[in-house]
Amino acid sequence: MTHQQPNSQPSGSPVGRAIAGFFRFLVRFLFVLVVGALVGAGVFYAVPWVYRNLIQPVQQNTARIAALDQKVDQVQDRLQAENLTLQERIADMEAEMTSLREASAVQVQDIEGAAEGIQQLDGRITEVEEDLEAQQQAAKATRSELEGAIADLEEQTDQIADQAGTLEGRLALLQTAQDLLKVRLLLLEENPRSARDTLTLATAHLEQAMPLMPEVTERLQSLQERMVELDQLIEDRSFRVGPELESLWADVMDLVLPAVAPPAAEEPTS
């Protein structure tokens, strides 16, 4: 009598495989939650810091420039009004002088036969001439003051123009710093192609700042050369990308806002 052999079971039952798959899914899900929480916390604390230390000072400088422009316009309007008033006064004085001369001529013709009348007329003419001379001297002094005020206004306008150029250069450098932050974020997301494109944009913003800030041309050229080297490091996936990017960002921010320190961020792995 033959004994029937029990059916052999395959290694690993479906229930065990399902449980193992469930635990693997649970581990991956928890990992994604942790990474998402870390990214959200970084964005939550980084955005207010960027606004407070980068965008808000730029807005304040823009408001100051607008106030200076308004003040310059007010000074120009006041000087123009004073100039018009002075011109009207001079015209009135010239008309009065012409009228006095005509009256003097008529009076001289009327009192040619009277010596007393001539003496009185001579005294009046002398007074009128002295008054006219005093008024002319006052007009000359007022014109000199107006010319000095115009010269001062032109000098202030030139200073404001220089400050505006410097501010535009710092705005371009601020855009460069923002582009470098985007490069860091893209590298953290393991997107080197987009990071290199953003680095090209940062180089373009740096080139815009060069003609606006001639006093730091050598430093800007050095930064431009380092950006070219950084692009090669990103292409080579070098471990030096993180330190070089952080150092480059700090040097750019030294030219924009010297008091701002670079943020501490985790370096991307090569």
Condensed to tens digits (0 to 9), the pLDDT of residues 122-178 reads 777 887 788 778 888 887 787 777 677 666 656 655 555 556 667 888 888 888 888
Phi and psi at 37, nearest 5°, equal -65, -40
Task: Write down how long the chain is.
Answer: 270
Cβ atoms 268, 246 nearer than 8 A: no
Instruction: Say if 129 falls within a structural domain.
Output: yes
User: What's the total number of domains in the chain?
Assistant: 1
247 lies in some domain: yes
Name which of 12-21, 27-36, 185-194 the model is least confident about.
Answer: 12-21
Residue 263 lies in a domain: no
In a domain, 11, yes or no: no
Whether 141 maps to a domain, the answer reads yes
By residue range, what is the domain housing residue 134? 17-256
In the three-class reduction of DSSP (H, G, I as helix; E, B as strand; rest coil), residue 129 is classed as helix
- Tell me if 2 is assigned to some domain: no
pLDDT for 228 beyond 60: yes
> φ and ψ at 55, to 5 degrees?
-75, -45
DSSP 8-class letter at 12 = S
Query: What is the maximal distance between C-alpha atoms in the chain?
Result: 180
- Residue 86's pLDDT band (cuts 50, 70, 90): confident
